[in-house]
Structure 1
């Protein structure tokens, strides 16, 4: 486990990008980079020496996209494939053989890429379910805030939530957060038989006691206010080491996580990056609307996971 100086209260994405300056660029398969955003993102991260990109896809289309954007890609290796499906399969095979340590989504759908990742015999799946972790630099919060799962698992059951939590804990540990605090969110703070999210929260906390989840401090159910505000928790007479100091917010489902993350970005001015965890290698799955900082930070997070993190 890596012990760094704790991440700062602000400019956290820049901090994690800077951390990668201590490591060599990480070999990364960029899958089907035939659109401007994915190709620019790969080139930007390469120029910052965060990744060493290998462009996997139809070479003619890749070079045409580079020419349109006036990008010099002659220094990068290109693995020519006929189409996006073959690109995904080829990139995953490179990850399985450890020729690359990161997978990065290009101009293909997430579903198409993830089908290759989770293939039963040819993929890079592990015993854990894949899940997405958002890292948010929220202006009025005192440290990085992780939200999960906002992109992969739509309505996770208890076992899937266990994997989502464990993935997020491993994610934090690779960033130097030794024992992350996990707030398991619901609409209320009490366990109620007619609210499955509260029952799952109680069960997840017991899983820690039984060693089924390791490395983190969990509490829940917690409503959003008493997860991030100690004052709100005290007003409701909640005694919790997580309240007001959460590193990870586990949402009850994808819709809640997705809306919560985007609200913080668009209404609170949060800056974001993120990864897919749970495979043998970290996966960069940025939005087409992602800005330069978010793309660089997502690559940096993947590089830190690849060089420091626990994937299996």
Structure 2
């Protein structure tokens, strides 16, 4: 009985399903900016071997080749675009996207700010009318549903209109993955509108914006505390009458600090995997961490790939 319980806790069926669906589609050209350490180069090659991407390696060619030999990874046949340093790699990777040679962008060993700086450049970047935001697509073994946590990596202290884009980006991703209409919890420390806690005012405003059609495609409620967002018994104890409370699939945090702590709590205490993707640009941006395991790296690529294909078809990808 003990072995069966452990097996159940550590299964990651939600990620495995996303990866399997993505593998049914042809791999997409992906500009990989500065794959100049073992983790980033290995991640790109593993995603290529899994049939998820066709990597275009952008960075110092000599260094990329040296690393591939040092870790015994074959990169024969892959395109390498030689640039002298990480700043140039970010700019060149974005240029490759703009030229139409690739449909996705993947972070290598450069800092996220450096890559996103190239993405958000007004003259040469990949900006759209939306605010750039990040989503952790989380596979929590002890939770029945995939959880989206946003924004825990890009927007430090978003104002109301930035939060509107953060919510809409997450809803659009959830829909594009064929997961249906999401239930969106706008998180705070409490579940009542409290003027002394600004995030509760933003939560109430966002819900009213959804009522007025300024946010579409999801069912919003907030403010909700984390417990009554994901636990139906907790919501019932508090007397909250809501179709979102206890069933939330997208968790919108008040700021980056809260989101980062929530995501890492789930990762390191609940053994969750956290695939990272940046939204709001012309193409999906795969944002992996050096601490990610193989499953998480593949899931990040799978999520981005499914989003890219859904944009091609202007419809969600179905299993």
What are the superposed Cα offsets for residues 208-266 of structure 1, whole Å, 9 maximum, x if unpaired?
11211111000000011110011111111111111111110001111111111111111
CA drift at 1:11: 1.5
- Within-5 A mapping of 1:1-312: 10-309=12-311
SS in 1 for 2:93: helix
Alpha-carbon distance between aligned partners in 2 of 1:250 and 1:174, rounded to the nearest angstrom: 18
- Taking the aligned partners of 2:241 and 2:96, their CA distance within structure 1 comes to 48
How far 1:178 sits from its partner (Å)? 2.0
Q: Note the C-alpha offset of 1:120.
A: 0.3
Pairwise CA distance, 1:10:
4.8
- Structure 1 stretch displaced more, 269-278 or 29-38: 269-278
CA distance in 2, matches of 1:65, 1:308: 35
- TM-score with structure 2 setting the length: 0.93
Q: How well do the aligned residues superpose, as a CA RMSD in angstroms?
A: 1.3
TM-score of the pair, normalised by structure 1: 0.95
* Structure 1 residues 13-71: Cα deviation after superposition (integer angstroms, max 9, x where no partner): 11111011221001100001111111000000000110000001111111011111111
The C-alpha deviation readout for 1:126-150, integer Å capped at 9, x for no partner, is 1111111011111221110110111
CA distance in 2, matches of 1:268, 1:142: 13
* Whole-Å separation in 1 of the counterparts to 2:217 and 2:176: 12
Given that 1:42 and 1:53 are in contact with CA atoms closer than 8 Å, whether structure 2 keeps it comes out as yes
8 A contact 1:151–1:258 mirrored in 2: yes
Find the counterpart in structure 2 of residue 3 from structure 1: none
Gaps of 5+ in 2: 1-10
**Structure 1: how far apart are the matches of 2:110 and 2:273?**
25
Confirm or deny: 8 A CA contact 1:10 1:142 kept in the other structure: no
| Contact residue 32 and residue 87 of structure 1 kept, 8 A | yes
Q: Distance in 2 between matches of 1:174 and 1:75?
A: 32
Q: How far did 1:207 drift?
A: 0.7
Q: Figure out how many residues of one structure are paired with residues of the other and give that number.
A: 303
| Counterpart-to-counterpart distance in 2, 1:274 and 1:306 | 15
